[in-house]
């Protein structure tokens, strides 16, 4: 019996014996020879490689196949070949014979291959194009269609066809396992491996069988793979945190339709019908209109045109009922809260809405066409501007922002108005939305007689600050590594 210098597991010994008969095998053939699963054989082979007894090598083989467009041209001919067959012809006539796509493609390749020129709007073959044999690119398409091998000399033509998206490259990856010189020497000797067990049983201990087996060794220094528990998306956790804060403060949550009439989205908020925010570049207008406007539309119209019955001049001009009926994707969540107030004009009312809104924005690190907004209203007797600042301060403090301040602002439907800001050490003061008290031009036409505090706050901007993100788009991308490593607890005082 030859003394074994290597500590082999049974799996390693089986692989070593299989390679003894053929010292170079693919993993699939090796697994069949060992009568084991491929992953088991690969693991044993990798352990042999660590001991210097085997080598693993990945071999990548490329093969080519026609795309759908390539198969079409293999049967019908390349666009330039089809066009060449009917030359000379005017460009206008060619567009009647073929699709616009084929004409455009063929013109470029006819010029590149020097098969034709354009003279006075007529596509004319060149003198060298009188007897043009099939090029290698055309031959490659035929060979691939017939499932025949491609000669080495045609590789350049294949590269061109790949660029034209007529041929795609498919890769076959094969792993080869072979023995090293030390492995060949060991395989030629008798390999005696004691049975290996991963766990001792009570019977093995009491019966003494543990002395006859080999215990599987473990490297205690190997870092185990991390285990990630299930959890909510970080952005969803922040939205729920905001929702819970207002629910704890006694507010009622509102929900509403994504599609709103321009009346509720704009007019009811005393926003003039020629306001820039209503332009197509800011608003998604739909090809539909509201079935009918609410009964209060006439008092809203009067407020816009001449100030209604209060001391206001309104916006003047003529108010269009048709424009007010135009449906839009809501540009803010305020139409949800203002409609709720119109339906429930008797105080007290404390309500909020946190939902998605839509605007025609170019996508960049700070803008997206869809984003979330947090809307809130408080209606009660003797409500004052101080109460508004108190509600907002309480909210941001509970969200973990230590320093909160308010800067004067302007909005068409609130007066006085402010913009709340929080202090971030790395960024300074950051503005997070708008707030104010509804103007009488908003409340009077809807039959609301009590003061109304209102705010519209940016949800995504708060999320970016809490999660320390620089790109708004990251909130909507499911990066698995970011989701796994993000903190479960988001509360932090700045």
**Residue in 341, 297, 347, 299 with CA at minimum distance from that of residue 323:** 297
Question: Model confidence over 123-133: pLDDT tens digits?
Answer: 888 865 556 78
Could you identify the residue written with the tokens 């003198």?
Answer: 127
Q: Domain spanning 1-60+170-193 has what CATH number?
A: 1.10.10.10
Percent of the chain residues past pLDDT 70, beyond the cut? 95
Per residue in 152-183, pLDDT (tens digit) is: 888 888 889 989 999 998 888 888 888 888 88
Q: What is the DSSP string of 321-337?
A: HHHHHEEEE-SSSHHHH
- Give SS3 for 342: helix
Bridging pattern class, strands 349-358 and 252-253: parallel
CA 264-459-444 angle, to 5 degrees, is 30
Q: What is the mean pLDDT of residues 229-249?
A: 91
CA distance linking residue 34 with residue 30, whole number of Å: 6
**Cβ contact 282:360 at 8 Å:** yes
pLDDT, average across residues 362-388: 90
Phi/psi at 299 (nearest 5 deg)? Answer: -70, -35
Residues of the chain with CATH 3.30.930.10: 235-485
Residues of the chain with CATH 1.10.10.10: 1-60+170-193
* pLDDT tens digits, 284-317: 999 999 988 998 999 999 999 898 888 888 888 8
Confidence of residue 254 (pLDDT cuts 50, 70, 90): very high
pLDDT in tens, 80-138: 888 888 888 888 888 888 888 898 898 888 888 888 888 888 888 886 555 678 888 99
pTM higher than the cut 0.85: no
Per-residue pLDDT reduced to its tens digit, 49-79: 888 888 999 888 888 899 999 999 999 999 9
Alpha-carbon distance values, 342 to 297, 300, 321, 358, 454 (Å) = 11, 12, 19, 23, 14
Q: Residues 439, 270: contact at Cβ < 8 Å?
A: yes
What pLDDT score was predicted for residue 19? Answer: 85
DSSP code at position 472: G
Average the pLDDT over 400-414 and give the result: 91
- Lowest mean pLDDT of 207-211, 255-259, 372-376, name the range: 207-211
What architecture is the 235-485 domain classified under in CATH? Answer: 2-Layer Sandwich (3.30)
Q: Is the pLDDT of residue 240 over 50?
A: yes
Please check the confidence at residue 327 and state whether its pLDDT lies above 90: yes
pLDDT in tens, 343-358: 999 899 999 999 999 9
Helix axes 234-248, 459-467, angle to 10 degrees: 120
| The pLDDT of residue 437 | 95
Strand 122-125 vs strand 89-90: parallel, antiparallel, or unpaired? antiparallel
pLDDT at 200: 83
Confidence band (pLDDT; 50, 70, 90) for 1?
very low
Work out the number of other CB atoms within 10 angstroms of the CB of residue 188: 10
The third-level CATH classification (topology) of the domain covering 68-165 is Arc Repressor Mutant, subunit A (1.10.10)
């Amino acid at each position: 019996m030859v003394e074994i210098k290597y500590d082999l597991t049974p799996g390693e010994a089986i692989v070593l014996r299989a390679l003894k008969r053929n010292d170079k095998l693919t993993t699939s053939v090796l697994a069949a020879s060992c009568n084991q699963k491929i992953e088991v054989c690969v693991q044993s082979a990798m352990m042999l490689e660590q001991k210097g007894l085997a080598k693993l090598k990945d071999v990548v083989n490329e093969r080519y196949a026609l795309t759908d467009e390539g198969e079409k041209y293999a049967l019908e001919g390349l666009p330039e070949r089809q066009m060449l067959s009917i030359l000379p012809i005017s460009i206008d006539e060619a567009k009647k014979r073929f699709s616009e796509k084929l004409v455009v493609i063929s013109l470029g390749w006819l010029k590149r291959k020097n098969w034709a020129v354009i003279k006075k709007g007529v596509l004319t073959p060149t003198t060298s194009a009188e007897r043009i044999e099939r090029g290698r690119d055309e031959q490659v398409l035929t060979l691939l269609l017939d499932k025949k091998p491609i000669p080495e000399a045609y590789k350049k033509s294949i590269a061109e066809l790949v660029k034209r998206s007529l041929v795609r490259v498919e890769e076959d990856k094969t792993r080869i396992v072979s023995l090293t010189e030390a492995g060949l020497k060991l395989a030629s000797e008798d390999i005696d491996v004691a049975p290996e067990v991963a766990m001792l049983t009570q019977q093995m201990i009491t019966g003494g069988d543990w002395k006859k087996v080999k215990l599987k060794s473990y490297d205690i220094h190997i870092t185990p793979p991390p285990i990630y528990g299930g959890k909510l998306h970080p952005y969803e956790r922040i939205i729920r945190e905001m929702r819970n804060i207002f629910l704890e403060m006694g507010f009622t949550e509102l929900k509403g339709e994504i599609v709103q009439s321009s009346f509720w989205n704009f007019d009811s908020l005393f926003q003039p019908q020629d306001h820039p925010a209503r332009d197509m570049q800011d608003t998604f207008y739909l090809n539909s209109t509201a079935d009918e406007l609410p009964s209060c539309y006439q008092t809203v119209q009067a407020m816009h045109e001449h100030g209604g019955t209060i001391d206001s001049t309104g916006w003047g001009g003529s108010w269009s009922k048709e424009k007010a009926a135009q449906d839009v994707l809501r540009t803010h969540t305020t139409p949800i809260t203002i409609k709720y107030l119109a339906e429930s004009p008797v105080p007290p009312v404390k309500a909020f809405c946190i939902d998605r809104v839509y605007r025609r924005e170019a996508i960049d690190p700070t803008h997206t066409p869809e984003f979330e907004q947090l809307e809130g209203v408080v209606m009660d007797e003797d409500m004052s501007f101080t109460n508004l600042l108190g509600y907002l301060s309480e909210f941001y403090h509970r969200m973990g922002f230590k320093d909160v301040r308010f800067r004067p602002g302007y909005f068409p439907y609130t007066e006085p108005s402010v913009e709340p800001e929080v202090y971030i050490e790395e960024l300074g003061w950051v503005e997070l939305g708008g707030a104010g008290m509804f103007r009488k031009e908003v409340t009077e036409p809807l039959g609301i007689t009590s003061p109304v505090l209102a705010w519209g706050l940016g949800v995504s901007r708060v999320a970016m600050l809490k999660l320390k993100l620089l790109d708004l788009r990251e909130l909507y991308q499911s990066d698995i590594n970011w989701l796994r490593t993000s903190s479960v607890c988001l509360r932090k005082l700045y």
